Chains A and B, each alone.
Chain A
C-alpha cells in the first residue's frame, strides 16, 4: 500500500513521480487558500488487481445503466401504451417505464458514487473558517463613507427633503399596489350571494313567485314516492344549471324518514318554530356542511345520523340536524318542502339559515 500521507512536512515527496509532483503543487495551492490536506490516500495500488476489479464494477454499472436506458426507449416506443379497459399489457406501460428509467438512473448514480468513493483517494482536508464580523478596516471604511454620504445628502440639514420624499413615495407605493388589489377585490355580498342559494323562489315580471322544484342531477323533478323509506337522495334546485358548480351551495339531501322518526323530527321542528318545513315524512337539509363546506352525506338510516367525511362532524337528523359530534358548531339549514299541483316536491322558500361554512358577518 503506497500511502501518501501528509503527516509531517519534512517527509519529502518522491521527486521522480510526476503524479506525486503534481499533487504537491495542488497541495501548495490549497495551503495558500487556507486548506491543509492532511491525509491523502489512494485506496488501491495503481494497476493492482483490486483496482482493476473496482474499475470493472464501475464500468459494468455504467453499461447496465445504458442497457436500462435502452430498454426504456424500447418500451416507450414499442410497448402498447394506449389505455384499454381491463387488464391488458398497457397497464404495465407506466410501471415498466418507471422501472427502466429508475434503474438507469440508479445504475449511473451508483456507478458515479462508486467511482468517487472507491477509486478516488481518500482525503481529509482542514480549512480555516473566517468567522465573525468583517475586517475592522472594512467596517470603518464603510461606516465613514456612509456617514459622509449622509452629510452630503444633507438629510439632517434639509429635513424638508426627507419628509417630502416620503410623502411623495407613499402614493407611488400605493399606485403599485392599487391595480393588484383593485383588480382582485370583489364585493362578497353582491346579489346577497352569501345568503342566497338556487332554492330562492323565482320571481317573474308580474310579481308572481314560482317555487323551485327539487330535481335530480339530470334535472328531472321528484315525486315523493321516488324516495324509499329510509332512503336519501341528493337533490338540486330545478333551475337552469342547478346541479352545476355555479350553485355550489345548493345541493340538498332529501330524506324519507320512517313514520316514528318523522314524528320525532316534526316535534323537534316545532320546538324550533319550523312547523311545516317537513312534508309528510320527508325532510331536506343542506348537503353543504356548516363546518367546512364538504358534502355531509353519510346518512345512517337507522341511527339517523349524518356524518361529514371531511372532519367527522355528526348531525342528528331527527333533531333539526343538530351537530352532536365533531367540529361543526351549527345545525344544517333545513329546506322547507311542499308538493306542487303536479305532485312534484318543491321548496317553499330558500333556506332560512345561511348555507355552508360560517363567516364573520353571518347574523
Chain B
C-alpha cells in the first residue's frame, strides 16, 4: 500500500502530454500561438460588438428563466402598486416580475437592453471603419457581406426582443410592423395573417417571437459571427500602411500573450461599461408604458435607435397611395416604400458595394493595406453621403421629441426632414470630397517642402518666408528631395521628427516636453524596409 509520490512540478507537463497524445492539440496550438495581429484602436470597434454579444447571451439566458412568452390574460398582483389589479398578458406580467420581484432582475433586463443597443451601435461604427478604410476590398468581400448581414440579423434580434414584454410601446411597434407586412403587394395580407396566426394581434405572436429571439436568431448570429471571425483569422487582419508594412506581411504583436491579454481586458471593459449603464441609466421602463392595449398610445412613440431610421423614413414619406385600377382596384399604400423597398435597396447596395467599387475602379488586386479616407475622396464622400442620409432619417425618427423640446413646429420638422433628405447628402458628398482633396494636398506639400517650423525669416530682398524643415535629404542645391507618399500619416509637427523632443501623451493633446529632454529617434520602431514603395495606393 505504498503511495506513489506525486511529482507536482512535472504534473502540468505530463497532463499536457497526455492530452496531446489523445487529441493532437500541439499542431493547431502552434499556429494559434504564432499568429500576428496588427494593433490600432479602430480595429477594436468590432470587438465591442463581439463582447456585447457575449453579454447579451449571458444576460439573455438569465431572462429566459423568468420570462413567460404568452398572451394569456392575467391580473397583475405583484409589488408594483400602480399596476395592481390591471389586466395584462402573462408576458407583460413576467417582465414586470423580472423588474420588481426577481432580485437583481432589473439590472439584468437593463444590461440586456443596453448591450443590445451597444451591439448595434458598435456594428455600425465597425462597418463605417471598414468602409472608410477600404477594408472590404478583395479578398474580404465575403466578410463584408457577412458583416452587413449581421447588422440586419441584429436588427431582427433587437426588434423581436423589444416586442417580447408586450408593453404599450412595443405593442405599438408590433402593430406598425404588422402594417408594414400588410403593405406588401399581393401577398401582404397572407404574410401578416400567417405570422400573427390570424388578425393582429392574435394570441401566438409573442411565443413565435420568443422562439425566434432566443433560438433561431441567436443561432444565426452565432453562426455568422463564427464565420466572420474565422474569415478574419484565415485571411489575417488588414493593417495600416507604414514603414515596414507591406501588402504581403502583417506587422504587429503575436496573439499570445500581449494581444490576447488586451482582448481579454477589453472584454472586461465592455462588460463593465454595460454593467454601469445597466445600473445607472434606466432603460425601457415598461411599468410606465403599461400593458399593450390597441387603443392606448403615448406621445413620442419611437423604436430603438437602430430602427429609428425606418421610422424616420416613414414619417417623411408623403401620403402617396398607388391605385391599380384592375378589377375591384388594388392598392400599394405609402408605407410600403419607406419600410420595405428602402431597406431592401439598402441591403442590396451594401452587399453589392465592394463589387461595384471594384468594377468602377477596375481593381482586381488583393488588398491587405488600408487606405486613409482622404486618399479615396470619392468613396469617403459617398460614405459621408450615406451617413448623412442615415442621420437625417434617424433624427426624423425622433422629430416629435425634438420639436417638442426645442419648441419647433412638428410640421416644420417634417418638412425640414423631407428637404434635408434631398439636400444634405449631396452637400455632404461635395464638402467631404473637397476636404479630402485639401488634406491630400497638404500631405503632399509637407512631403515636398518639409514641416512648418513656425519660424519666420526675412529674406534679403525684404520678403518674409516660413522656414520649413525638410523631411528628406537635401540635394547639392539645398533643395529637399521630394518624398513619395506611402499612405500613412505625414509628420506635420517638429516634435514628430524628434526636433523638439518627444510629445508626452496628454489626454486630448500631446504635452510638449521641454527641449532639453533626451531626443528620441522619433521613428516607429520598425525601420523602413526596402519594399515601401509597394504601399502607394495611388487612388486619385
**Residues on A facing B (Cβ under 8 Å):** 7, 29-30, 33, 35, 37-39, 76, 81-83, 85, 93-99, 101-106, 108-113, 115-117, 120, 122-129, 131-132, 184-190, 193-194, 217, 234, 236, 243-245, 247-251, 287-288, 291-295, 297-298, 307, 309-314, 323, 325-330, 356-363
Contacts and interface: CB of A to CB of B under 8 A. Distances in A.
B296 interface: yes
A357 to B, nearest CB: 4
Contacts of A193: 198-199
Given A38-B526, A99-B276, A309-B300, A247 B294 contact: yes
Contacts of A314: 411
Interface string B184-204: 111111101111011111000
B262 A113 contact: yes
Nearest to B413: A312
Interface residues of B, number: 111
A106 B335 contact: no
A63 B6 CA distance: 33
B314 A292 contact: yes
B373 to A, nearest CB: 24
Contacts of A187: 193
Nearest to A37: B254
Interface stretch (B100-108, B212-220, B221-229, B434-442): B100-108
A314 B400 CA distance: 13
Given A83-B80, A310-B176, A99 B279 contact: yes
5 contacts: A30-B254, A85-B81, A330-B321, A360-B188, A360-B330
B179 interface: yes
Interface stretch (B143-151, B266-274, B378-386): B266-274
Nearest to A196: B199
A3 to B, nearest CB: 11
Nearest to B274: A102
Given A193-B198, A311-B315, A359-B188, A124 B295 contact: no
Nearest to B198: A186
A7 B278 CA distance: 49
B295 A251 contact: yes
A29 B269 contact: no
B279 A96 contact: yes
A103 B171 CA distance: 35
Contact of A358 (B36, B317, B331): B331
A199 to B, nearest CB: 14
A251 B278 CA distance: 37
A297 to B, nearest CB: 6
B271 A123 contact: no
A293 to B, nearest CB: 4
Query: Which 4 pairs of residues, A with B, have the shortest CB-CB distance?
Result: A98-B279, A109-B268, A116-B261, A105-B272
A362 B323 CA distance: 10
Contacts of B478: none
B198 A190 contact: yes
Nearest to A123: B253
Given A29-B34, A189-B189, A362-B331, A357 B182 contact: yes
Interface stretch (B153-161, B244-252, B340-348, B484-492): B244-252
B52 interface: no
> Which of B294, B314, B400 has the most C-beta atoms of chain A within 10 angstroms of its own C-beta?
B294
Given A101-B107, A116-B262, A131-B368, A312 B400 contact: yes
Contacts of B186: 360
Contacts of B293: 243, 245
B479 interface: no
> Which of B178, B274, B292, B297 has the most C-beta atoms of chain A within 10 angstroms of its own C-beta?
B297
B231 interface: no
Contacts of B334: 291, 327-329
Contacts of B257: 116, 120
B506 interface: no
A128 B265 contact: no
B298 interface: yes
Contacts of A102: 272-280
Contacts of A234: 295
Contacts of A39: 525-526
A361 B176 contact: no
Contacts of B250: 126-129
A314 B248 CA distance: 61
B103 A295 contact: no
A116 B333 contact: no
B254 A35 contact: yes
B110 A327 contact: no
A286 to B, nearest CB: 11
A69 to B, nearest CB: 11
Contacts of A29: 30, 34
A359 B178 CA distance: 11
A287 B79 CA distance: 33
Contact of A125 (B183, B251, B262, B331): B251
Interface string B392-417: 00000001100000000011001000
B183 A112 contact: no
Contacts of A313: 319
A126 B524 CA distance: 14
Contacts of B388: none
A315 B296 CA distance: 18
Contacts of B464: none
A250 B84 CA distance: 26
Given A193-B198, A288-B294, A188 B262 contact: no
> Which of A30, A38, A328, A361 has the most C-beta atoms of chain B within 10 angstroms of its own C-beta?
A361
> Which of B79, B264, B301, B331 has the most C-beta atoms of chain A within 10 angstroms of its own C-beta?
B331
Given A35-B34, A184-B195, A311-B315, A363 B254 contact: no
Contact of B328 (A127, A294, A363): A363
Contact of A94 (B107, B258, B527): B107
Nearest to A31: B34
B415 to A, nearest CB: 10
A33 B36 CA distance: 11
A248 B31 CA distance: 60
Given A83-B100, A120-B261, 19 more contacts: A30-B34, A35-B254, A94-B110, A109-B267, A124-B251, A124-B252, A129-B248, A188-B193, A249-B294, A292-B180, A295-B172, A310-B301, A323-B319, A327-B315, A327-B334, A327-B338, A328-B334, A360-B184, A360-B330
B261 A125 contact: no
A106 to B, nearest CB: 4
A87 to B, nearest CB: 14
A329 B320 contact: yes
B443 interface: no
Contact of B297 (A93, A95, A110, A294): A294
B393 to A, nearest CB: 13
Interface in B275-294: 275-280, 292-294
A363 B329 contact: yes
B175 interface: yes
A293 B192 CA distance: 13
A124 B526 contact: yes
A98 B107 contact: yes
Contacts of A125: 36, 251-254
B93 interface: no
Contacts of A217: 295
Contact of B414 (A95, A325, A357, A361): A325
Contacts of A122: 525
A356 B335 CA distance: 13
Contacts of A190: 198
B297 A295 contact: yes
B444 interface: no
B13 interface: no
A190 B166 CA distance: 26
Contacts of A325: 411, 414
B332 interface: yes
Contact of B189 (A105, A127, A132, A360): A360
